[in-house]
Amino acid sequence: ITTANYPMQIARPFLPGEIPNYPQVRINGVGVLTQADVKQRYPDGSVKHAIITFLIPLLNANSTVTLSFRDQPTGNNTPFLSGADMLQNSFDFEAKMDLTDTNTAATVSASARTMIQNNAFTYWMKGSVATSVIIADHSVARAYDIGYDSFKPFRPIFHATFFPGINKVRVRFIGEISNTEAMEDMAYNLELRTGNTISVPVYTKN
pLDDT higher than threshold 90 for residue 64: yes
What is the predicted pLDDT for the residue at 185?
Answer: 86
What is the predicted pLDDT for the residue at 187?
Answer: 92
CB 120 within 8 A of CB 160: no
- Phi-psi label, residue 164: left if phi above 0, alpha if psi -120 to 50, beta otherwise: alpha
Which pTM was predicted? Answer: 0.93
For residue range 127-153, list pLDDT tens digits in order: 999 999 999 999 999 999 999 999 999
How many Cα atoms within 13 Å fall on the side-chain side of residue 173?
19
Share of the chain above pLDDT 70, in %: 100
What is the pLDDT confidence band of residue 181, given thresholds at 50, 70 and 90? confident
How far apart, in Å, are the Cα atoms of 169 and each of 3, 119, 123, 139?
A: 16, 18, 15, 26
pLDDT higher than threshold 90 for residue 44: yes
Amino acid (one-letter) located at 39: K
